[in-house]
Amino acid sequence: MSWTSRLEEKTKQVESVLNQYLPKEEGFQKTVISAMNYSFLAGGKRLRPMLMQETYRLFGGNGKVIEPFMAAQEMIHTYSLVHDDLPAMDNDEYRRGRKTTHIVYGEGMAILAGDGLLNFAYETACKAFLIESNERVIEALQVLAAKAGIYGMIGGQTADVEGEDLPPEKVTNELLLFIHTNKTAALIQSSMMIGAILAGAGKEQIQSIEKIAYNVGVAFQIQDDILDVTSTTEVLGKPVGSDEKNHKVTYVSLNGLETSKKDVERLSKEALSLLEKLPGENPFLVELITSLITREK
């Protein structure tokens, strides 16, 4: 079976877990729930819950306690997209070929749907206590919240929004790395860390996973900047050269193409080497991570 087919198969398996946690569309609050589910069911590869589950398996986890966390993480990811797409933010009318939530449900309801998803993520994660009530679940909850907030994803999002209005000379490597680390890597970190924590990994192993996920997230974003320069619209499925056209400061414009490629390679090698050193084996996880950082589209 090709990698694409195997990945699709995994996505379906992950979705069958996630879908159990969706709220029923009923009651006087039916509209906000429909808007939440519309956003949640817009598709995507479900990478974050997939990474969470596969890391859990790497450390020998085989229980159901991971499942509410998988759903919670995807709800957090989804709410961030719903709010990102709003007119006051990126003002996007389409995402993955479907109309965005505020286009279908109106702006007010999209704000409420995002809030609903974020809050329901914590309600859902709390369901893990019904399966196992122990220190691991508490730690997983702390990591979920920390990486999603102002010292994680929201922090990165803030810097990204503000960065767009800065004069180019103010956009430093330090700022770009802050954005990549927090906007993208933070949720990959919490996904993998929660998998490790719930499977009972040790402190050093969790730190190693945090580092691997950091490298994966940052390499993924630098690769994004590289492909905008080196790929073609046909391969990428979206217009290339848009960063240069928009005078956007990127990792590539700051560091050059060669250094950027070397950095992706260094981050990738380090991630895979750290992963190899961990006890347990999960060939699918290795392949998934490799595909994320060496992607051509």
Nearer to its own copies, 25 or 287 (CB): 25
| Closest distance of CB 128 from its own copies, Å | 10
Report whether 140 contacts 128 (CB < 8 A): yes
Nearer to its own copies, 172 or 291 (CB): 172
| Closest distance of CB 194 from its own copies, Å | 14
> What is the C-alpha to C-alpha distance for residues 296 and 236, in angstroms, rounded to an integer?
8
**Greatest Cα-to-Cα distance within the chain, rounded to the nearest angstrom:** 57
| Closest distance of CB 245 from its own copies, Å | 23
Nearer to its own copies, 116 or 195 (CB): 116
DSSP 25-93: S-STTHHHHHHHHHHHTT----HHHHHHHHHHHHTT--SSTHHHHHHHHHHHHHHHHHHHTSTTTT--S
Residues in contact with its own copies by the rule CB under 8 A: 23, 27-29, 31-33, 36, 79-80, 83, 86, 88-89, 106-109, 111-112, 114-116, 118-120, 122-123, 126, 129, 133, 135, 138, 141-142, 145-146, 148-151, 154-159, 161-162, 175, 178-179, 182
Residue 158: C-alpha distances to residues 85, 165, 212, 229, 249 (Å): 14, 12, 24, 26, 17
| Closest distance of CB 252 from its own copies, Å | 21
> What is the C-alpha to C-alpha distance for residues 120 and 76, in angstroms, rounded to an integer?
9
Contacts of 133 (CB under 8 A, 6+ apart): none
Nearer to its own copies, 149 or 280 (CB): 149
Phi-psi map region of 256: left, alpha, beta (phi>0 left; psi -120 to 50 alpha): left
| Closest distance of CB 42 from its own copies, Å | 19
Report whether 85 contacts 225 (CB < 8 A): no
Nearer to its own copies, 135 or 296 (CB): 135
Nearer to its own copies, 114 or 217 (CB): 114
| Closest distance of CB 285 from its own copies, Å | 28
Nearer to its own copies, 66 or 289 (CB): 66
Cα–Cα nearest to 274, from 193, 221, 205: 205
Residue 5: C-alpha distances to residues 1, 9, 167, 272 (Å): 6, 6, 44, 23
